[in-house]
């Protein structure tokens, strides 16, 4: 298999963490690219021009990080990143993590490519409120991290979103405002899969 990715995309990082957590690193070759410069190889596989993209052993191109994560999870069934006995809880957390990731990423891209007026728009303010509400909910409900419990896709999604906030939007001051969440992030990101894939 072949994975198209870069080092600053939270979606690509989430997918790469899944590769590592599932023990699939020897089966997945990494292709580093810049989707903003219309990489020809990327566009040949995914005309939308977004990463990550996974090329399966059969040569099929899969896009969208959650779809890729689900596919990779099935390649090595145990332990599952979406265990049946906790499926609803895990998928709920995946949704929160993905929503936080989307709002954060769109905020970063808007700031980079739009003018000040657009960045003060109703949509911008709505994204900011969504980030705050999601952080508040996660801070209330997050459990203390234990390395004795298998990591889930929900954990990965939330942790990557928090790492992206710290990387690109430090003014959200998660460490000061949400101490439970920050303690959880600091603990879970000690895993090798997170240290290996740190944003840079």
Residues 112 and 148 in one domain: yes
Q: Is residue 198 part of a domain?
A: no
Mean pLDDT of the chain: 94
pLDDT digits (tens, 9 = 90+) for 119-142: 778 888 999 999 999 999 999 988
Contact indicator for 5, 31 with CB cutoff of 8 Å: yes
Residues 71 and 95 in one domain: no
Residues 103 and 129 in one domain: yes
pLDDT digits (tens, 9 = 90+) for 77-113: 889 999 999 999 999 999 999 999 999 999 999 888 8
Residues 71 and 92 in one domain: no
**pLDDT computed for residue 122 by the predictor:** 87
**Which residues, including other chains, have CB under 8 Å from residue 11's CB and lie 6 or more apart?**
50, 51, 52, 65, 101, 105
Provide the domain count of the chain: 2
Q: Is residue 49 part of a domain?
A: yes
Range of the domain at 162: 84-191
Contact indicator for 90, 83 with CB cutoff of 8 Å: yes
Report residue 116 as tokens.
């000040």
Residues 37 and 6 in one domain: yes
Residues 104 and 154 in one domain: yes
Report residue 60 as tokens.
């099929």
84 secondary structure, DSSP code = G
CA distance 129 to 164: 17
CA distance 153 to 102: 16
Q: What are phi and psi of 54, to 5 degrees?
A: -110, 125
pLDDT digits (tens, 9 = 90+) for 141-185: 888 776 667 899 999 999 999 999 999 999 999 999 999 999 999
Which of 32, 58, 75 is a domain's end point?
75
Residues 88 and 69 in one domain: no
Contact indicator for 167, 199 with CB cutoff of 8 Å: yes
Which of 52, 75, 98 is a domain's end point?
75
**pLDDT computed for residue 148 by the predictor:** 63
Which of 75, 93, 115 is a domain's end point?
75
Q: Is residue 187 part of a domain?
A: yes
What CATH number has the domain bearing residue 169?
1.20.1050.10
């Amino acid at each position: 298999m072949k994975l198209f990715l870069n080092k600053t995309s939270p979606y690509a990082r989430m997918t790469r963490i899944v590769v590592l957590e599932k023990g699939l690193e020897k089966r997945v070759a990494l292709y580093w690219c810049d989707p903003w410069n219309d990489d020809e190889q990327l566009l040949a596989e995914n005309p939308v021009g977004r990463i990550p993209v996974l090329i399966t052993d059969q040569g099929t191109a899969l896009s969208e990080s959650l779809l890729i994560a689900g596919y990779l999870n099935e390649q090595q069934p145990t332990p599952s990143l979406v265990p049946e006995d906790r499926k609803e809880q895990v998928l709920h957390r995946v949704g929160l993590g993905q929503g936080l990731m989307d709002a954060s990423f769109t905020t970063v891209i808007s700031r980079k490519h739009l003018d000040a007026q657009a960045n003060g728009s109703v949509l911008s303010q709505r994204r900011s409120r969504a980030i705050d509400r999601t952080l508040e909910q996660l801070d209330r409900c997050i459990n203390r991290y234990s390395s004795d419990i298998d990591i889930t896709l929900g954990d990965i999604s939330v942790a990557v979103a928090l790492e992206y906030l710290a990387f690109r939007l430090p003014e959200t001051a998660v460490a000061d405002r949400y101490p439970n969440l920050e303690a959880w992030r600091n603990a879970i990101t000690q895993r090798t899969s997170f240290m290996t894939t740190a944003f840079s």
